[in-house]
Amino acid sequence: MLEAEEMILLSNHQPTKAIPIRSINFNKVNTAAESSNTEQEMIENLEKSIQVKQKQLEELEDKVKTKLENAEMEITKQKDLWKQEKEQLITSAKKEGYEKGFEVGKNDSLAQYHQLIENANSIIDKANIDYQNIIESSDEEVLHIAIEVANKILHQELKDDTTFHQMVKGFLKQFKEQSTIKLFVHPDDYERLLAFKDELMQIVNHRAELFIYPNEELSKHSCLLETPYGKIDASIDSQLEEIRNRLFQLMEEIEREHSALLE
């Protein structure tokens, strides 16, 4: 563990208050080298994957629509046949005068009709299940790909000193009114951050004591911020993980609503 510390005494302690944690927004900084071929390939692969899934969904929708139409046609056909058969049974029973035979024939026709209805409903239910399974698997796969691409692009951009500096500034602004602020970064990022120490001092505006520490346990481009109220993980990985969890929660809610509509 490296033990290095830079302390910037900015002012006397003043009363503190808890600042709510908000999402970090910082403008994208243009670098000398724009998107690499690897990034472009990942984006193109994502677009191709989305197009394939969209085509699969369109084909499945056509398939489900055809199944539903065939089921409805079969139900209508069987209803007409049942009506014809019922009329024939009634006529035959009247001619022969056998009430008992008429009742038996009518019950048999009703049983066949109900069986056809159950078969049609089963086809429709199966089509809906197949449709829902494809939707769920496609949404989850596309979501995983999108987050992975975002992760790679963000980490590539954070290799630029200015981008990493903007990220740290964004977090520091949220806690500038605290009495003491400690920043922990990877040793490789420590020297990079010190190059912008004057700007960091201006952000806290003489209201806090600012300390910067290198920490070998942190990954590169990570930032851990500590105040008297606790520690906050300000790394890109933690933010992406939170976004991932929220997106999957939202997707589950949409799936539950869709399932409720099908019931």
- In degrees and rounded to multiples of 5, residue 262 shows phi and psi of -80, -20
Q: Which tens digits make up the pLDDT trace of 202-247? A: 887 767 788 889 988 888 878 888 888 888 776 666 666 666 666 6
Query: Does a structural domain hold residue 209?
Result: no
Q: Please name the residues in contact with 192: beta carbons below 8 A apart, sequence gap of 6 or more.
A: 161, 164, 165
Rounded Cα distance, 236 and 33, in Å: 21
Query: Does a structural domain hold residue 50?
Result: yes
Rounded Cα distance, 248 and 49, in Å: 19
Rounded Cα distance, 201 and 193, in Å: 12
Asked if residues 165 and 223 have their Cβ atoms less than 8 Å apart, the reply is no
Report the 10 Å Cβ neighbour count for 192: 18
Q: Please name the residues in contact with 186: beta carbons below 8 A apart, sequence gap of 6 or more.
A: 214, 215, 216, 218, 219, 220, 221, 222
Closest by Cα among 202, 125, 208, 160 to 35: 160
**Residue/partner pairs of 56-62 with CB below 8 Å, 24 or more apart:** 56/134, 56/138, 57/134, 57/135, 57/138, 60/130, 60/131, 60/134, 61/131
Query: Does a structural domain hold residue 211?
Result: no
Query: Does a structural domain hold residue 181?
Result: no
Report the 10 Å Cβ neighbour count for 95: 8
Query: Does a structural domain hold residue 64?
Result: yes
Q: Which tens digits make up the pLDDT trace of 144-155? A: 555 554 445 444
Q: Which tens digits make up the pLDDT trace of 17-30? A: 444 444 444 444 44
Q: Which tens digits make up the pLDDT trace of 48-93? A: 655 665 676 567 667 767 766 776 787 777 777 767 776 776 666 5
Can you list the positions of beta strands (E) in the chain? 6-8, 180-185, 209-214, 223-227, 230-233
Query: Does a structural domain hold residue 204?
Result: no
- Domain holding 133, by residue range, is 44-157
Residue 165: per-residue pLDDT:
73
Query: Does a structural domain hold residue 119?
Result: yes
Q: Bigger pLDDT: 253 or 102?
A: 253
Residue 155: per-residue pLDDT:
46
The DSSP bridge pattern shows strands 223-227 and 209-214 to be: unpaired
Rounded Cα distance, 99 and 203, in Å: 97
Number of domains comprising the chain:
1
Query: Does a structural domain hold residue 138?
Result: yes
